[in-house]
Structure 1
Amino acid sequence: MVDHVAVERSVHEAADGDPARLPQRLCEVLRDTVSMDAATLSLFTDTPHRQLLCATSEAGLRLEKLQFGLGEGPCVTAAQTGAEVIVNDLRQDLSSWPLFGPCAQEQLADVGTIYAFPLRVDARRTLGAVDLLCHQPLALDPDIIEKGAIAARAASFALLSAYQATMDWGGLPPWEPEDILDSYWGPTHAAVGLLVGELDITDEEALARMRARAFGSGRSLPDIAHEVIVDPSRWADDLER
């Protein structure tokens, strides 16, 4: 039987301390609570404004980049539906995600299992999602799922409380892994804003067009974003054709 109080206490203890390191501490306690190899945290996971908070390993970072670049995957579905998504064996059928499936099997050969949990605020809203990774495939374990869901829910309130407290002080949480955001997420968000202005379209459509161009050309999303930033008018004309 899962000790709910003990799981929640471990997350609450991790939430104490330097706010700047909160996502890292939460990632570590989420990973350790369910005895996984790595964890990631992201905000606004199923939106164009997705932001990585933490990835405890290089494999986790690759997973985050892949899901953001394609707009689909376990944590995107978890954030959209508000329910956990379990992939016991990444080497098996992943037809639920026609783009993510084959790309994950090619680029995440060192990942066997992914457990994705929503960071739920209430019954209808999520802050984002957490991915828990294991290098080897795992048999379905209800206790792991229950522990992960409890820990993720506690983590969502810890993040929300810290964010609100920082906003009350008149600032923004210093949570971003700046080097990663500046090289991957930042340019993409900037390019989306430029295309929205050039084409009078939504953020969702701008990002979808950039993702399609990246996937179709075999290039990365930041590569496309940098070209948009250099000459948004030319890219707007090109994307309209």
Structure 2
Amino acid sequence: MAEGSSTEGGVEDTALCAHFLVALPVDGAAMSVFGGTVPETVVCATDGLAARLDELQFDLGEGPRWEAARTRRPVLEPRIREVAHPLWPVFHTALMDTAVEALYVFPLTLGALDVGIVELYSRTPGVLDRTDQAKALVLANETAWNLLDRLLRVQEAASEAVTPTASPLSRREIHQATGMVLVQMNVTPTDALLVLRAHAFSHGKTVRAIAGDVVARRLEFSPVD
């Protein structure tokens, strides 16, 4: 994750967090986005406790959100107060002053790209069953695409004022690359273009440059898991 936290990314939307509360047996949710050249941005929090849990882990530099980001796997703690956690002892101690009984953290990833993290908490202990875990993973994937699209639109809108319009020739190359990516990843044209934009964003390059690499077959994409 990038150092520093901000709410200036222009993607704040409490509805993104609320979707998880509607679909899952949890009491609160918080979400952060990070990656590429963007500092970590708090996207939403459904309540003060959710926001506090996110802030506490960020300040301490430890906790399940960091573990999920590092491993790129969900971290599920159905009885977080009852079990010692050697990887994040300070956060576990701080947790004792809250009403949280369970934490479920899901990384927001798209292929090799890290988009962010969503943290869910419950005031009662309990395991997320397979159905709920499957729902959470689907929501996490949909949210990752949504967040990335919003973030990239904000970034591109900010750069349009200082970036010359690409030539028609370069646009044709982008269209060609989009077609190649949709075949490689078995996604829609819209998502294929988003993949190109995301790769350019995360590597500090232009979409035109990435499209050129795809067309020249220097770069290929694999299907999203």
Same fold (TM over 0.5): yes
What runs of 5+ residues in structure 1 fail to find an aligned partner? 1-18, 173-241
1:37 CA displacement: 1.0
1:153 equivalent among 114, 135, 141: 141
| Equivalent position of 1:127 in the other structure | 115
Cα deviation, residue 171, structure 1: 6.4
Any idea what the Cα deviations from partners look like across 1:1-20, whole Å, max 9, x if unmatched?
xxxxxxxxxxxxxxxxxx96
Aligned in 2, Cα 1:44/1:164: closer, same or farther, shift over 3 Å? closer
On the 8 A contact 1:76/1:129 being kept in 2, the answer is: no
Following superposition, the deviation at residue 39 of structure 1 comes to: 0.6
Residue in 1 that maps onto 2:30: 40
CA contact (8 A) 2:13 2:44 kept: yes
> Does residue 71 of structure 1 match 2:57?
no
After TM superposition, list the pairs within 5 Å mapping 1:177-192 onto structure 2.
Answer: none
Identity among equivalent positions (%) equals: 28
Shift of 1:140: 4.2
Equivalents in 1 of 2:153, 2:54: separation in Å? 27
Please state if 1:143 is matched with 2:134.
Answer: no
Q: Higher helix proportion, which one? A: 1
What does residue 164 of structure 2 align with?
Answer: none
Q: CA 1:94 to 1:143, structure 2 compared with 1: closer, same or farther past 3 Å?
A: farther
1:101 maps to 2:92? yes
Change (3 A) 1:44 1:168: closer
Bigger Cα displacement from structure 2, 136-145 vs 80-89: 136-145
* Cα RMSD for the two superposed structures: 2.4
* Stretch of structure 1 that moved more, 87-96 or 112-121: 87-96
Letter in 2 for 1:111: V
1:168 to 1:139, Cα distance in 2 relative to 1, 3 A: closer
Structure 2 CA distance for partners of 1:170 and 1:51, relative to 1, 3 Å: closer
Q: CA deviation at 1:57?
A: 0.8
Is the partner of 2:126 in helix, strand or coil?
A: coil
Give the deviation of 1:139 after TM superposition.
2.8
Which of 98, 101, 116 lines up with 2:105 in the alignment?
A: 116
TM-score (norm 2): 0.60
Deviation track 1:186-226 (CA, whole Å, cap 9, x = no partner) reads xxxxxxxxxxxxxxxxxxxxxxxxxxxxxxxxxxxxxxxxx
CA distance in 1, matches of 2:148, 2:43: 13
Q: Report the Cα distance in structure 2 between the residues aligned to 1:49 and 1:100, rounded to whole angstroms.
A: 23
Contact 1:78–1:85, Cα closer than 8 Å, also in 2: yes
CA distance in 2, matches of 1:36, 1:171: 39
Are the structure 2 counterparts of residues 171 and 89 from structure 1 closer, same or farther at C-alpha, using a change threshold of 3 Å? farther
* Structure 2 runs not aligned, ≥5 long: 1-8, 161-225
Residues 26-37 of structure 1 mapped to structure 2, 5 A cutoff: 26-37=16-27
TM-score by length of 1: 0.56
Q: Deviations over 1:165-201 (max 9, x none)?
A: 22232369xxxxxxxxxxxxxxxxxxxxxxxxxxxxx
Question: How many Å separate the matches in 2 of 1:137 and 1:35?
Answer: 11
Report the structure number with the largest CA radius of gyration.
2
What is the count of residue pairs matched by the alignment?
149
Shift of 1:145: 1.4
State the 1:128 CA deviation: 1.4
Letter in 2 for 1:44: F
Q: CA deviation at 1:126?
A: 1.3
Summarize the Cα distance change of 1:168–1:51 in structure 2 as closer, same or farther, 3 Å threshold. Answer: closer
Q: Distance in 2 between matches of 1:86 and 1:72?
A: 15
- Counterpart CA distance in 1 for 2:10 and 2:93 is 36
- The answer (yes or no) to whether the contact 1:23–1:41 under 8 Å persists in 2 is no
